[in-house]
Structure 1
Amino acid sequence: MILDGQATTLKRMTYSEMNESDLRVLAVSSGKGGVGKTNIVANLAYALSKRGKKVLVVDADLGLNNIDILLGLVSKKHIGHVLSGELNVEDIILHGPEGIHVLPAGDGLQELTQLETEKKMMLMDELDRVSRGYDFLIFDTGAGISANVTFFCSAAHETLLIATTEPTSLTDVYALMKILHNNHSQKKFRLIVNSVASEREAQGVYRNLTAVTDRFLSGVSVEYMGYILYDPNVPKAIRQQKAFLEIYPFSKFSGCINELAEKISKEKPKSGEGNQPYFWRSAFQAK
């Protein structure tokens, strides 16, 4: 029985069987909303799929539909039906552009915003079961620093953080890193800077962040992953509910996404702290 406040360590499903397919589990988060995180996830998944990778995107902003709407996908089935035992994960998977698979979060379901430990375990067991057929499993987390957000970040092999040039974006990314480090012993992060005018501007954001983390978060490392140039056509693609790369494949924005996808697709799962050989693992306080 799990008691309130009890420190619980979850380590399930050794990674030995999955190493054969080199499954990589990525969590994409931001701390702050409105920085283009879900749009990046959708287009990164699209670019990875174009490279022949099998991708499952999990809308981990539970209780709010995001990525399925962004890609023009419609379904009345969602993660809530899996957690209630009504359906299996396979029953709710949506098929998106370029063969992307999407697991919808469900809309307006407040009970999903604060999942109990048992429900999280149930969901992860289901994802464990279906993940063997994929090269990438991507969690598109919600904004903020809720228990759901930190759970999905700590359950992944890698956490990709999305920031912009806005000071509030940087402070919120730092706050998320601090919680993941202090409460979940996470030490490695990767940064993507979105909606910039130049790479120089993106590197300035990276330097500002690492100046703070180097001073206040001992042992934490932040890898500069890349940048995405501002494009005025992004809102148009969102309104059309299509992947930006599908409509504007030769834009600078698409070029940046493709560079990221190329880099990620050629990497192997990393080892070490923050990337342990388990499909999911999390040490957290049960609330």
Structure 2
Amino acid sequence: MDQAGTLRRLSRGMGRGSIREASSHSTKLRGLAVASGKGGVGKTNTVANLALSLSRMGKKTLVFDADMGLGNIHILLGLVPRYTLQHVISGERSMQEILIKGPGGIDVLPAGSGARQYNDLNGEEMLILKTELEVLEEKYDYVLFDIGAGISNNVMYFCSAVEDTAIITSTEPTSFADAYAVMKVLSKEYDKREFKLIVNSVRKASEGQEVYNRLSQVSDRFGLNIRIDYLGHIFADKSVPDAVRRQRLFTDIYPTSEASVCIHNIAKMLTQTLSPSDIEWGRIFA
């Protein structure tokens, strides 16, 4: 019996209500799960550009498209995958076999799209992905998970199964409220206590700091008992939509743009080569 078949046998009966059991199985996955409460805040674009920045710092980087059923990071990168994570779940391919090479030497595990049955994975399917990835992740310095938006079972599973979780929000009140909702559910129902925060599409640096301060204050006021670390902001920048239209990464074709500098600073924060006190956020393109 192959590995996928064995896992199906062992995990049979976990069912769709077993997200906590699946996410707590064995150890946490190494990496950073990047999620958002609201769609359209630039999460996928941030993940892809952050991966490229890490790769150019000499870090072997893997991008895992965890937006199951609606994955599109391959489109952003101009890639056409032959196989996706859907083939891994079905047992047709291993993760190693579906890996594709992206720009700057990053590796990508594409999710595929247009398959509604993968929008709500069951415990068995989640365990298959986790077990395969536990073998593959040892090859990499960083694994970035592009998580879907909202609070679906898939989002909750990947955020709770991965060591670190970063929430991306914008300055819009709806985005702020949804980011808080994701952290609330993860802390209350999945005992997730530490989060990182990235604020996208700011006009000035102080806006990002203000969002971080407000989220911290609200979470304290309502007793979430969580810690939020501020990774930084990303400026609203015309180079970003231009790069998307060209299916290129803005850090690749506009390496000195305001948004690219922000991404590089966030990458340095992740690699601990830069601390918040080293960056005068208010003076960088303020």
TM interval, short-chain normalised: 0.7 to 0.9
Is residue 21 of structure 2 the alignment partner of residue 8 of structure 1? yes
Q: Is the 8 A contact 2:65 2:71 kept in 1?
A: yes
| Larger relative contact order, structure 1 or 2 (CA cutoff 8 Å, min sep 6) | 1
Match of 1:184 in 2: 190
Structure 2 residue aligned with 1:137: 143
SS in 1 for 2:271: helix
Q: Which residue of 2 aligns with 1:94?
A: 100
1:262-273 equivalences under 5 Å are 262-266=268-272
Q: How does the TM-score come out when normalised to structure 1?
A: 0.87
The aligned counterpart of 1:50 is: 56
Cα deviation per residue 1:67-97 (whole Å; 9 max; x = unaligned)? 1110111113101100110000011111001
Residue identity in the other structure for 2:249: A
Distance verdict in 2 for CA 1:205–1:112, change over 3 Å: same
Letter in 2 for 1:255: V
Rounded Cα–Cα distance in structure 1 between residues aligned with 2:70 and 2:26: 28
The one-letter code sitting in structure 1 at the alignment partner of 2:230 is Y
Does structure 2 conserve the Cα–Cα contact (< 8 Å) formed by 1:160 and 1:192?
A: yes
- Give the letter for the 1:116 counterpart: N
Alignment of 1:241-260 (within 5 A): 241-260=247-266
**C-alpha displacement of 1:188:** 0.8
Q: 2 CA distance for matches of 1:4 and 1:151? A: 11
C-alpha separation in 1, matches of 2:161 and 2:117: 21
**Sequence identity, in percent?**
48
Q: Is the 8 A contact 2:62 2:144 kept in 1?
A: yes
The yes-or-no answer on 1:206 pairing with 2:212 is: yes
Q: Which residue is 2:180 aligned to?
A: 174
Q: Structure 1 stretches of 5 or more lacking a match?
A: 16-22, 268-287
Aligned 8 A contact 1:60 1:152 in 2:
yes
Say if 2:90 is the partner of 1:84. yes
**1:186 aligned counterpart, secondary structure:** coil
User: What residue in structure 2 maps to residue 32 of structure 1?
Assistant: 38
In 2, Cα distance between equivalents of 1:124 and 1:188: 21
- Give the secondary-structure state (helix, strand or coil) at the position aligned to 1:142: strand
Equivalent AA in structure 1 for residue 85 of structure 2: I
Residue deviations 1:228-287, cap 9 Å, x none? 1110121110011111111100111111111111121237xxxxxxxxxxxxxxxxxxxx
Paired letter, 1:155: A
Q: Which amino acid aligns with 1:193?
A: V
Q: TM-score, normalised by structure 2?
A: 0.87
1:10: Cα distance to partner?
A: 5.0
Contact 2:24 2:161 survives alignment (8 Å): no
Separation (CA, whole Å) in 1 of partners of 2:147 and 2:100 = 18
Separation (CA, whole Å) in 2 of partners of 1:3 and 1:205: 38
Change (3 A) 1:232 1:212: same
